[in-house]
A and B are shown apart, each in its own frame.
Chain A
Amino acid sequence: MNKPTNTPQTLAQKLIAKAAGRSHVAVGDIVNCQVDLAMFHDSSGPRRLKPMLEELGAEIWDKSRVVLVMDHYVPERDDDSRRIVRIAREWAVEQKLPHVYDSLGICHVVLPQKGHLKPGMFCVGGDSHSPTGGALGTYMFGVGSTEMLGVVVTGQLWVRVPQTFLMRWNNRLQPGVTAKDMMLHMIGRFGMNGGAYQAIEFCGEAVKALSMQERMTMSNMSAEMGSQVGLIEPDQVTRDWLATTGAKDVQIEGWHTDEGAEAVAHEFDAATLVPQVAAPHSPANTKSVDEFKNTPIQVAYIGACTGAKLEDLRAAAQVLRGQQLPAGVRLMVAPASLQDQAQAESEGVMQTLRQSGAEVLPTSCGACSGYGGSIPDGANVIATTARNFKGRMGSATAQVYLASPYTVAASALRGSISDPREVLA
Chain B
Amino acid sequence: MSVHHRVWKVGADVDTDQLAPGAYMKLGILDIAKHCLEGVRPEFAAEVKAGDVLAAGPNFGIGSSREQAADALVKLGVKAVVAPSYGGLYFRNAFNLGLLLLTCKEAEALDEGEQISLDLSTWTVVRANGQRLACDAIPEFLVAMVEAGGLLPQLKLRLQQQRAS
**What is the interface of chain A, defined by CB distance below 8 A to chain B?**
30, 43-44, 52, 55-58, 73, 80-81, 84, 126-128, 130, 141-147, 149-150, 153-154, 158, 191-193, 196-197, 226-228, 282, 369-371, 373, 387, 389-392, 394, 396
Spot the interface stretch: B48-56, B83-91, B118-126: B83-91
Residue pair A146, B150 in contact (C-beta under 8 Å) = yes
> How many residue pairs, one in A and one in B, have C-beta atoms under 8 Å apart?
114
Name the prevailing secondary structure of the A interface residues: loop
Q: Is B133 an interface residue (CB 8 A)?
A: no
A56 touching B159 in the complex, CB below 8 Å, given contacts A142-B89, A144-B92? yes
Contacts of B89 in A (CB 8 A): 128, 141-144, 197
CB < 8 Å neighbour of B22 from A144, A193, A370: A370
23 pairs from A and B in contact (CB 8 Å cutoff)? A52-B152, A56-B155, A57-B159, A127-B64, A128-B89, A130-B65, A144-B93, A144-B96, A146-B96, A147-B93, A147-B96, A147-B151, A149-B151, A153-B159, A193-B62, A197-B88, A197-B91, A369-B22, A373-B23, A391-B17, A391-B23, A392-B17, A394-B22
Q: Across the interface, name the chain B residue whose C-beta is closest to A396.
A: B39
Bound CA span A285–B59, Å: 15
* A149 to B65 CA separation, bound complex (whole angstroms): 14
Beta-carbon contact of B17 and A389 below 8 Å: yes
Q: Could you tell me if B22 and A391 are in contact, using CB atoms closer than 8 angstroms?
A: yes
**Cβ proximity bits B72-94 to A, threshold 8 Å, 1 near / 0 not:** 00000000000001011101110
Q: A146-B97, A394-B22 are in contact. Are A389 and B155 (CB under 8 A)?
A: no
Residue contact B23 to A370, C-beta cutoff 8 Å: yes
* A84 closest partner in B (C-beta): B26
Which of B17, B66, B159 lies in contact with A390, CB distance below 8 A? B17
| Set of chain B residues within 8 Å of A191, measured between Cβ atoms | 59
Q: Which residue of B lies closest to A128 (CB)?
A: B65
Known A143-B92, A146-B150, A150-B96; 20 more pairs at CB < 8 Å: A80-B26, A128-B63, A141-B89, A144-B65, A144-B89, A144-B92, A144-B93, A146-B67, A146-B151, A149-B155, A192-B15, A192-B59, A196-B85, A196-B88, A197-B89, A227-B88, A228-B88, A373-B23, A389-B63, A394-B23
Contact check: which of B65, B87, B91, B159 meets A126 at CB < 8 Å? B65
Q: Which residues of B contact A56 (CB under 8 A)?
A: 152, 155-156, 159
A151 to chain B, nearest CB (A): 10
Is B85 in contact with A193, judged by CB distance below 8 angstroms? yes
**Chain B interfacial positions (CB closer than 8 Å to A):** 13, 15, 17-18, 21-23, 25-27, 39, 58-59, 62-67, 70, 85, 87-89, 91-93, 96-97, 139, 141, 150-152, 155-156, 159
Q: How far is the CA of A192 from the CA of B58 in the complex (A)?
A: 11
- A249–chain B nearest beta-carbon distance, Å: 30
Asked if B13 contacts A282 (CB within 8 A), the reply is yes
Residues from chain A with a CB closer than 8 A to the CB of B21 are 391
Chain A residues closer than 8 Å to B159, beta-carbon distance: 56-58, 153
A371 touches B22 (CB 8 A): yes
> Once the chains are docked, how many angstroms separate the CA of A146 from the CA of B154?
11
Task: Take A146-B96, A149-B152, A150-B151 as given contacts and tell me if A392 and B139 are in contact as well, using a CB distance cutoff of 8 Å.
Answer: no
Q: Please tell me if the beta carbons of A153 and B96 are within 8 angstroms of each other in the complex.
A: no
Residues B62 and A226 in contact, CB atoms below 8 Å apart: yes
Instruction: For B98, give the chain A residue with the smallest CB separation.
Output: A146
Give the chain B neighbours of A370 by CB distance below 8 A.
22-23
A147 to B13, CA, bound (A): 23
- Which 4 pairs across A and B sit closest by C-beta, in order of nearness? A197-B88, A144-B67, A370-B22, A144-B93
